[in-house]
Chain A
Amino acid sequence: MVGDLLEDFYNVLARKGFWRAHAWFWWQALWLGLGYCVFRFWQPLEHAARALEIERMLEALSPQGLMSDVRHAVRALRKDLGLVVFATLITGLGVGATTAVFSVMKPLLIEPLPFVESDRLVWIANQGDGGLSSGMSRTSNLRDFRELSTSFDGLAGYFAFFESYTLTGSGEPERLTGVAVTDDFLRVLGVEPMLGRGFTPEEGAILGSPAVILSHRLWERSFGGDRSIVGQSLTINGSPSVVAGVLPPSFDFASYFSPGSRVDLLTTFPVTDQTDAWGNTLSIIGRLAPEATLEGARAEMAVILEQLQGADPERWGLGAALTPLQRVISGEHRTSLLLLFAAAASVLLIVCVNLSSLLLSKGIRRRQEMFLRAALGAPRARLLRLLMTESLLLAGCGALLGVGLARLITSAVAGSSSVTIPLLSSVRVDFGALVFSCLVATGAGLAVGILPAIQASGVGSAGELRAAGRTLTSSRRSRWLREVLVVAEVAVACALLVVGALLIQSFTKLLAVDLGFQPDEVAAWPVDTGQEFETYGERVAFLDSLLEAADAVPGVSSVGLVDAIPLGSSRLWGFGVAGRELERDEELAMFPHVVSDRYLETMGISLLAGRGFTDADTQETEPVILINETAANSVFPGQEAIGQALLFRDVKLRIVGIVADVKHLALEMGSGPEVYLPVAQTGDYGSLDLVVRSELPLDAIRGGVAAAIRSVDPSMPTHDVRTMAHVVDQSVSPRRFTLTLLSGFAAVAVLLAALGIYGVLSYSVAERSREIAIRMALGESAQQVRGRVLARTLGLAGLGAVIGVFLSMAASRFAMAMLFGIGATDTGTLLTIPLLLLAVAALAGLLPALRASKVDALRVLQAP
């Protein structure tokens, strides 16, 4: 057969090419193998059955037979409610876990993004292939790529710094978060507004007519789903803007591009020299032309970049790294989700093993019944089917529970705004997930049932029945089978525990990281005013009065202003050093923060040398700057940094102090070079936050601070306050999410493994009570009996643990990307976990051991 197949394979190869021929080959081989094996397996049965009683065989395969099987299975299961409850519970756990993880994975990894031909969308980062938050580009890059590239149907961008807007005119002033996009943004993504239209090029021009597109949620929340809103004018930041359209509910900008945050409206971003001067601020997305490929586009981009750099050697910030959009969005979560899925699947595996071993022991008890049925003429196929129906029914009950469980988990996950995983809000148990859980349950039912069914239905001679009737002893083979199952179960549980333990240790290490600031007792209010000011001095005076009013609130110990709170957004400015000749591309890229004088104190950032800002630093005095430790060490190695000056846009900024490093991007990432500029001297920021330190709980000062803010600007919304502790928490949320689920899975796995050990041993003690009684009658002490049972337990668990350690070494290598401060083969963990498992196994084996040693030899041996 193989030869025939190979011969034809070469024919197909010549006609259809490599891939299709290989696909053909494996498809044929699969079907041939499956079909032929089934046939070979069935044929003897069929013959035997036909030789005996064809009619009964046919009846066994008829649908009526099936119904009677189901009826019988229900009756049999009703007699053993304990088993049903236990099996339903654990199968429910397994199916629930896999279905829930599948549902979380589905929108991110399995389904294409819900854009038109989303596989043609490409993320064009400035450099590298970092995630969503990195790789911003200059506006001039977008302009030139649009002009020179032929690989794209369209290139669009969005301003990576979300802005806050104040909506007034209809009741309470409301703060909205908006993102500025180029006018063709929706067209490139392939998103049709639900109502109205996208932006026009006129609206996208620099001083074009202001227009906004509302998110579906804002439209429902603030405008009650009013369809006539399109074309009306809203007062945003004090000036009128026309509502061009409303986004469809399926397109929630934030859930794709900035998970965990909220975007209420889109505004326009003009592609001009002015916006280019802002530096790397734009995230670029392109749609490949129908005939273009990613590789082709990459090659073309390389040529374009060279051409542009050649035309203007001075040009900086030029770069284009192309990645499929889906990869960028799922990005770092891919590994953790796959890991979770593997963990859930392992739990399911353990569930199956447990259940299988349970049914095996139950099957032995039912041998008499099976024999009777066979004696009365039931063919083996019929017995097999009967037993399989039972296990499928059990799995079905489990699936019902599992789907319920998965719904609970997914609704909890989808409703939580504190986990920053993309597309989480669209997670639900939908039809696909239902199909998935049905498949899983059926698979589990078959897998669980097949071994016990084959064993129980394979009844032999009348002699065996007599033997079975008397001692209920299972064959050596079936005991061996159950022990193999236990070993497998312990091994999988061990691997899960090791990975879980590594992740927990990473997490605690991460939480113990020195943030560089003290997040406790600090809360932040966004304070962007819609007011217009004649001069920057007036704006500063406004901010001063805001600070003063907030500081006067009882319980507030310190207040400050900042344009980028830690663990929020990032941006880079290029600085020069006074007295050093630097080429344009040698400029020092540093993360600037515009802050008020008491910001450091409020945040708890320590000043290492020099002085902080004071109210004496004003527009009239010399421009000053603070740098962090990393900047001081990298820019002025071995020199005194204080007193030196940095250059920004040809302005000399005197360094007056050095502050401690702060974790600004993520807890896992080190701090880069950062600088602080006084808000009194620079207006170069997007939005400001008022940070307030108070020993009182947030609720005690919330009203006071809000009133203080409104006393300065009555139109400023005050409800969207966050505590810094929450901000920190949110930044570790994906990790916490993975960790919580994974440790849950690991705990369930260990529990089930312990149950499995207990079940197998107590069964083996029960069925061997006769043997034990004889041994005791011959003089074995109770202690020796206990010792033997325990030794067996530890032997099985030990073997499982050893295999588990090897398994976990492979698994943790896979989880490497998620580890922090700990190696994938951490010796401590790899030693401790198996020992822990052995201890659990010993506990599980203790009860059967005690029971064995209490066997009443006389009574057992006298029993008929």
Chain B
Amino acid sequence: MPKVRDFELLVILAILRQGDQSYANRVREDLEANAERRVTRGALYRTLDRLEVKGFIRWELEPSEVPERGGHPMRRLEVTADGLAAARSQGLVLQRFFAGLELGGTGRSGE
């Protein structure tokens, strides 16, 4: 199975967090608000494309009623079983490494 990168993992999780409202704009807002990073449109779309190529997500176009969109359809994103599995295994890796660590002040300050 292809590897999933850091940002890709965040995107997959963000898609999951939106439930049945997982549209690109919502995902981007969530990432900007909660991932403490700026997400440019281009980077997000590129990542979505890449995830789709890897088979981690898929999407379907829905007609949109939102007047501002001027009739352009919306992309509803969905995480595939492979995507879920990849996210889960990545999560497990992280958990394994976090387990038993006291992060409060035990790290080297770098001085």
Contact = CB atoms under 8 A, between A and B. Distances in A.
Interface of A: 1-10, 28, 31-32, 35-36, 39-40, 43
Contacts of A2: 72
Contacts of A35: 40, 42, 46
B31 interface: no
Contacts of B73: 3
A13 to B, nearest CB: 9
B111 interface: no
Contacts of A31: 40-42
A756 to B, nearest CB: 39
A32 B41 contact: yes
Contacts of A3: 64, 69-70, 72-74
Given A3-B73, A9-B68, 6 more contacts: A1-B24, A3-B70, A4-B74, A6-B69, A6-B72, A28-B41
Q: Which 10 A-B pairs have the closest CB atoms?
A: A3-B72, A35-B42, A3-B69, A10-B68, A4-B25, A7-B68, A39-B46, A32-B41, A2-B72, A32-B42
B16 to A, nearest CB: 19
Contacts of A7: 25, 66, 68-69
Contacts of A8: 25
A2 B72 CA distance: 7
Contacts of B7: none
Q: For chain A, what secondary structure do more than half of its interface residues adopt (helix, strand, loop), or is it mixed?
A: helix
Most buried by A among B40, B45, B73, B74: B45
Interface of B: 23-25, 40-42, 45-46, 49, 64, 66, 68-70, 72-74
A1 B45 CA distance: 8
A10 B25 CA distance: 13
A35 B68 CA distance: 24
Contacts of B23: 4
Contacts of B64: 3
A814 B45 CA distance: 43
Contacts of B40: 31, 35
Contacts of A40: 49
A40 B25 CA distance: 21
B68 A5 contact: no
A359 B23 CA distance: 47
A8 B23 CA distance: 13
A4 B24 contact: yes
Contacts, number: 46
Nearest to B67: A10
B76 to A, nearest CB: 12
Most buried by A among B23, B25, B42, B69: B42
A36 B73 CA distance: 19
A756 B70 CA distance: 47
A421 B46 CA distance: 52
Contacts of B72: 2-3, 6
18 contacts: A2-B72, A3-B73, A4-B23, A4-B24, A4-B25, A4-B41, A4-B74, A5-B41, A6-B69, A6-B72, A8-B25, A28-B41, A31-B40, A32-B42, A35-B46, A36-B45, A39-B42, A39-B49
Contacts of A4: 23-25, 41, 69, 74
Most buried by B among A1, A8, A31: A1
B106 to A, nearest CB: 37
A7 B70 CA distance: 9
Nearest to A11: B68
Given A3-B69, A4-B24, A7-B66, A32 B45 contact: yes
B42 to A, nearest CB: 4
Nearest to A1: B45
Most buried by B among A6, A7, A36: A7
Nearest to B29: A8
Nearest to B23: A4
Nearest to B26: A4
A374 to B, nearest CB: 25
A8 B69 CA distance: 9
A744 B73 CA distance: 55
Nearest to B50: A43
A740 to B, nearest CB: 48
B42 A36 contact: yes
B70 A6 contact: yes
Nearest to A43: B49
Nearest to B28: A4
B80 to A, nearest CB: 20
A28 B39 CA distance: 12
A774 to B, nearest CB: 50
A8 B64 CA distance: 15
Nearest to B74: A3
Contacts of B66: 7
Nearest to A29: B41
Nearest to A38: B42
A35 B45 CA distance: 10
A35 to B, nearest CB: 4
B36 to A, nearest CB: 20
A32 B41 CA distance: 7
A631 B69 CA distance: 69
Nearest to A13: B68
Contacts of A32: 41-42, 45
Contacts of B25: 4, 7-8
A31 to B, nearest CB: 6
A21 to B, nearest CB: 12
Contacts of A28: 41
Contacts of A9: 68
Contacts of B49: 39-40, 43
Nearest to A34: B42
A8 B28 CA distance: 11
Nearest to B48: A1
A601 to B, nearest CB: 79
A36 B46 CA distance: 7
A796 B25 CA distance: 51
A520 B72 CA distance: 74
